[in-house]
Amino acid sequence: MLLLLAVTTIVSCSSDPKPLDCQGERELVFQKETEFAESGFEDELLHDLMRTYAEFANACSSDSITPEFLFRRADLLRGDGQIRESIRLFKAVHDGYPQYPKGPVCAFLVAFLYETELNDKLMAEKYYLQVIELHPDSEVSKSAAITLKYLHETPAELLMRLKEKNK
């Protein structure tokens, strides 16, 4: 019995793990995206696609398309009403993939979701300021600055300002 256990341990430790085929996994993600779109965006396929994005990111974290898949997953989470999880993922993409071209958009979306979905103006302000600080030359930095200007307006103040502007 001990001999069998020793042989099993040696064989399992010495055998090379099967290398992951990220290209094949990438194709699977694209296939599931197509199925989801062609289904008319069925809930069951939505959750399967979100799971597939996460599995790909875990298995192929250094693949060049990983931040894009995580961005798409965060957007789907937002659409599915999972706002806090979406925010967490947008932050993770922004912070974990600094060369990702949509990084500034991720940072902006964090602030935007705090403002519009969670109605947390203090956190929104914090993250809008962060967008401006970290991405000063980006288009979203300009949007963040404009948003900050009016962030704390009440609906009545906003309506009054719009009326005066349209005179």
Q: How far is CA 161 from the centre of its chain?
A: 34
Q: What percent of the chain has pLDDT over 70?
A: 88
Instruction: Identify whether the C-beta of residue 75 lies closer than 8 Å to the C-beta of residue 86.
Output: yes
Please provide the average confidence, as pLDDT, over all residues in the chain. 89
3-class SS of residue 60: coil
3-class SS of residue 107: helix
pLDDT at 7 (0 to 100): 37
Residues 39-89: tens digit of each pLDDT: 999 999 999 999 999 999 999 999 999 999 999 999 999 999 999 999 999
pLDDT at 165 (0 to 100): 82
User: Tokens in use for 151?
Assistant: 């962030």
Q: Distance from first CA to last CA of the chain, Å, rounded?
A: 91
3-class SS of residue 39: coil
Nearest Cα to Cα of residue 73 among 82, 60, 62, 61 = 82
Nearest Cα to Cα of residue 110 among 98, 92, 97 = 92
pLDDT at 154 (0 to 100): 82
pLDDT at 20 (0 to 100): 65
Only one residue has tokens 């993922």, namely: 89
Specify the pTM.
0.82
* Residues 106-118, mean pLDDT to the nearest whole number: 98
**Banded pLDDT at 159 (limits 50, 70, 90):** confident
Domain ranges of the chain: 23-153
More confident residue, 14 or 67: 67
Only one residue has tokens 């991405």, namely: 135
In whole angstroms, give the CA distance from residue 151 to residue 122: 9
CATH code matching the domain that covers 23-153, chosen among 1.25.40.10, 3.30.43.10, 1.20.1250.20, 1.10.580.10: 1.25.40.10
